[in-house]
Structure 1
Amino acid sequence: MTILEISAGDTAWVLISATLVLLMTPALAFFYGGMVRSKSVLNMMMMSIITCGIVGVAWVLYGFSFAFGDSIGGFLGNPADFFGMSNVTGLEVGTVPGFVFVGFQSAFAIIAVALVSGAVADRMKFAAWCAFALLWASLVYFPAAHWVFAFDGAVSEKGGFIANTIHALDFAGGTAIHINAGAGALALALVLGKRIGFGKVPMRPHNLTLVMLGAALLWIGWFGFNAGSALGANELAGLTWVNTMVCPAATMLAWLVTERIRDGHATSLGAASGIVAGLVAITPACAVVTPLGAIVIGILAGVGCSMALSLKYRWGYDDSLDVVGVHLVGGLIGTLAIGFLASPDLTGSIDSAGLFYGGGLAQLGRQAAGAGIVLGYSLVVTWLIAQAIDKTIGLRVTPAQETSGIDLAEHAEVGYDLSKVQYSTYNKTLLIADPNATRDNDATKVSA
C-alpha cells in the first residue's frame, strides 16, 4: 500500500463533500414527502430521517468494516478489522485521514437505504421499516459497497470482486447504490403489495413545492457525492463536478420534451424527476466520460426514465414514488453507457474504453456483469428480508389505518393541522379557536 502525505486541502474538500452528501437524505425526505398524499407526509419523511440514525450507528459499529475491511473471498470485508472504529486512528486513505473517509462513506450508506423507502409510501409499518433498514443495510448494501468500492490496497490489502476481478467501472455508486436500491425497492414493493385504490384512485403529489425544494437540494448535495469521490481537490473533482452539472440539466430538458410530446404539458414534477434521474445516471460514469458524453447520457436518461414510469401500471407492481423507474433504470443507463462512452484518456487504457472510443465490447461486458450481479443479489436478498419481516412482525398497516392515514396510525401526528384555524370572509380576519370555547364569538380575532 502506497502511503501518501496527508493534504489539508484534500481533507477539507472531502469533509465538505461528506456534509453535502449527508444533506441529501433530508433533501430526499422533502422530495419524497411532497410526492405523497398529505395524510402520509410525516411518515414518508420519517423513514428517511430514522435511516440516518439506524445506518449511522450500524456503520460505525460494523458497516465500515463489512465494506472496507480486508476481503473475505472478495465478498465481504472482515468485520473485526474496523469494528467500532478500531484501527481507524492513523489510517490514511489516499491523501485524507481514515476518519474523514469513514464519514464520507457513511453518508453514502445512509442515503442508499433511504432511497428504497419511496417504493412503500402510505402502507408500511414504521417498525417494519426500521427492521428492514437495519437488515438491508447489513445484508445488501454493506456487501455491495465492498464489491464495488473496496479496491485492493486503498483501505485494506484485498478488496471486492467487482472492482478488482471483474473490473466494472462505477465511480460513485451507480451499481452499489442506485441499481441496488432500485432492485431492492422492486422486491419490497412486490412483497408488500399495492396501495388501496392503486390504478383506480388518483394519488397525486400533495405539495410540489416540497418536491422542487428536495430536487434542488439533492442536486446541490450530489456535487459532494460525485466530485467528493475524487478524494481530493484536483482536476478529477473538477471534471466530475462539470459532468454532475450538465448531465441532469440535459436530462431535465429531455424529460420535459418527452412529457410535452406525450402528454401535452411540461410539468414541475417532470422537471424535478428529470434532475434526479440525470444525477443517478451520471453517478457511475462521471469520472470516465467527457462533458459531451455526459450530455448524451442525460438525454438517454431523460427519455428512458420518463418512459419507464409506465412500467408499474403495465406490469402491476406499486412502486409508489418511482424508485424503479428513476434509480434502477437510471442506474442501468449510466452504468451501461460507460461501455459505449468511456474515454481512454480518462480510464487510462484502451482496454477499458467504451465502444465508441475503440475499446470494443470488453468494458460493456464488464459493466453488464457488475450491474447484473448487484441487481440479482439485491432482488433475491431483499425479497427474503421482506418475507421474514412479514412473517414475524408484519410489513403492512391495516386497511383502516391506510385509509385514514398512516401519519395518524403510526405517529399520532398530522403534517398539516388546520383544524383550529378558520377564516372569516365577512370581516377578513383569522379566527383562531380557543380549544375550550363553545361559541364562535369565544374565538380570538387576529388581523388578517
Structure 2
Amino acid sequence: MAEISLFEKIEGNWKKVRVVVGLRNFHLTNLYELLQKSLYEHNYCRASEILEVLLQCPDCDLSRIWQPAIEVLFTLDPTSTAFIEFFNILLLKNHTLSSKIILDKQRIILELVFYQMKYGNATDALATAETYLPMEPYCNNPVLHGYTGLLAYSLWEQLNIMIKENESKHKIYKPPKHEQFMDRQKRYYEMSLSNFKRSLDLDMSNDMFLMYCVKLLLHNEEIEEAITVMQNFCDKNPSVLTGHRLLFEVLRTYKSFDSKWVEVGKTYHRIDPVSPPEIVFNPLIEHYTQVIKRTSEEEREILADAYYNICELLFQRIEYGDDNTNYLFKTLQSFIWLELIKIGELLKNRGEWFRQYLIHTQRKVVNSWWELQCYKILSACVSNSEPIFGTMGELAERAREFVLVGNHFRNDRTFFDFVRQSRKNNCINVSRLSDSGSVNSGNGLSNVE
C-alpha cells in the first residue's frame, strides 16, 4: 500500500513538472511572437525589453532571437560595446539548453565582420576574420573569404593614399615609416587578392568579389590572368552581366587588336540591350562600319555579315523599347543590303515578334509620318522571303534601289517625297498597308503631314 502511494506521489509530481514545463514553453512561445510583432511595428524599445527577459531564461532558443537582437542593437545603439559583448556570448555558446539546436556560427561571424566593416572598424574586422579563417568550417566559406578580401582591399587603398601623400611631402628623403607602409601595402595587396581568388574558387557566382579581384590583377598588370579569371566566371555564369561587361572592357582596352572583344561585346549587348549606347553599342556599330568601309563590293559575304551584325544590334535596341529614330533609319538602310539567307538567319529566333510588333498599334506609337513609312517599308522587307509584290512590295523595292545608289533616308527627302506623292495619288492604300503587316499611328498621324 505504501509502494502504491509512493508511485502515485511520483506520478503526481511528474504531472506538476509537465504542467510547469508546458507553461514555461507557452510563455516562451508568446514572447517569441510578441518579439516578432514588436519588430514588425518598429517598436524597438519593447523588443529590447522582451529580449532582456528571454536572455535571462536558460531555455531560450538563441537561434530564434540572435538576429532580432542584432536588429534591435543596430537601431538603438549601434556603437555600443554591448554589441560586441552579445556577439561574444553567441560565439561561446554551442547550442541552446532546451532544443540542442546548434547555432550557425558562420552566419554569426559574418554578421560580426559586417558590423565592424559598417562602422569603420576595418582593422578589427580583418582581425576577426583572420582569427576564424584558418579553422574549419570557416576556411571553406566563400563569403567570409570575400569579406576578408574587401577589408584588406580597403586597407590597401588607404595605404596607397598615405604613401602618395608622403612621397609628395618628402620627394628626396624617405622617412622610416615609408618602408613600413610599403611592407603593409604589399601584405594587404597579397591578402586581398588571395582571398578573392579563394572565394571565387569556392563559389564562382559572386560578381562583386570578381570585380575587386580583376581590379587588383590589372593594378599589377597581370592582364592574362585577369582575362582567364573573367572568362572562367562567364563560362560558369553565362547569364550574369558583370562578367561579360568586365571582360569586354578589359579586352577592348588591352587587346583591341584581337577581334575577341567584338564577340564578347555582342554577348554583353544581347544580355543588356538597354545599356547606355556609348558603353558597348556604339563601339560595336563603329567596328562594323569600319569593316564595311574597308571591304570592297566584290566581297559580298563579308559585307553581308557586317550588315547582319549591325541589324542584329539595332533590332535588339528596338525590341527592348529604344525609340531613337536614328536606329530605325539605320536598320532600314542596313537591312536591305542583306541576302535572303541572312534575312532568315536574322529573324529565325524572333518568330512572329517583329511583325506583331509592327501590327499591334498599342505596342508602338510613332512620332512622325516619315517614321511611319520607315516601319511600313521595314515590315514589307521582313514579311516575305520571296520577291515582294503589291503596293508595299513596290515601295520596298524602291527603297532598296534608293539606298543602293548611295542615298540615306535620314538626310534626303527625295524618297519620302515619292512616298508622300504616292499617298496623295491613292497609290498606297493605308488600310491595305495595315492589313498586310505594317504599323498604324498611335498618336493621330492623320494630322501629321
- Larger RCO (CA within 8 A; separation ≥ 6): 1
Q: Would the TM-score normalized by the shorter structure come out above 0.5?
A: no
Q: How does the TM-score come out when normalised to structure 1?
A: 0.22
Q: How does the TM-score come out when normalised to structure 2?
A: 0.22
Larger strand proportion of the pair: 1
Tell which structure's C-alpha radius of gyration is larger. 2
